[in-house]
Every structure is written in structure tokens, then in C-alpha cells.
Amino acid sequence: MEIAIQACRKHGKFVGICGQAPSDFPEITRWLVEQEINSISLNPDSVLKMTQIVLDIEAEQRQEAATMSERVPPPPVRQAAQAGGAPGVETEASLLD
């Protein structure tokens, strides 16, 4: 399934999954959500439970994304060349700082 999902996403295609597994196995539902598919079809008797699972997973993903964005340091400020360099010209060393 992973190969098919990746191929569809690469080509901008809609990815929807139907079948018994997402209705019966929360771990399958989790995996499908993590694959960022567009749609999961569920049996009527599992809609409420699995919808809550999807909402919980998506909330976890948003929290992780927010945490990661807080940890990413800002890009370094480039400095002009010093001592003997032309004003405003960056040296290789200043770009590596």
C-alpha cells in the first residue's frame, strides 16, 4: 500500500482507502493518517471510534509540527567581510558562520 500511496501522491492523485482493515484496526488507521491519504472509508459501526482516533492523530501531528518549528533556530545573519575586504562583500568564512 505504501508504494501505491507514494506513487499517487507523487502524481497529485487523490488517495482514498476503503476496506475492512481501517474499520477494525486502529493501528492501520493511524498508519494511513500518517501516510497523509485523503480519505478513509469506514464501516458504520466504527465511524465514531475511528474518527476520534483520526482527530487524535492529527492533533498529535499538529503539536509535533509546532514543537519542531519552535526548535528550529533562525538562519544565521550574514556578515560583511572584515579587515581588508570590500564593504558588503561576504567572505566564504562569513558564510559558514
pLDDT given for residue 92 in this prediction: 46
The reply to whether 84 falls in a domain is: no
Residue 35, C-alpha cell as written in the block: 501516510
pLDDT given for residue 30 in this prediction: 93
The reply to whether 56 falls in a domain is: yes
Q: Which has the closest alpha carbon to 43: 58, 60, 28?
A: 28
The reply to whether 12 falls in a domain is: yes
Q: Which phi and psi (to 5°) does residue 41 adopt?
A: -90, 140
pLDDT given for residue 97 in this prediction: 47
The reply to whether 51 falls in a domain is: yes
Q: In this structure, are residues 5 and 13 in contact, taking their beta carbons and an 8 Å threshold?
A: no
Q: Would strands 39-40 and 16-17 be described as parallel, antiparallel, or unpaired?
A: parallel
Spans of the chain below 70 pLDDT: 72-74, 77-97
Q: Which phi and psi (to 5°) does residue 40 adopt?
A: -130, 125
- Say if pTM beats, i.e. exceeds, 0.75: no
pLDDT given for residue 28 in this prediction: 94
Q: What is the mean pLDDT of the chain?
A: 82
The reply to whether 25 falls in a domain is: yes
Domain of residue 22: give its range: 2-68
Number of independent structural domains in the chain: 1
Q: How far apart are CA 14 and CA 12, in angstroms?
A: 7
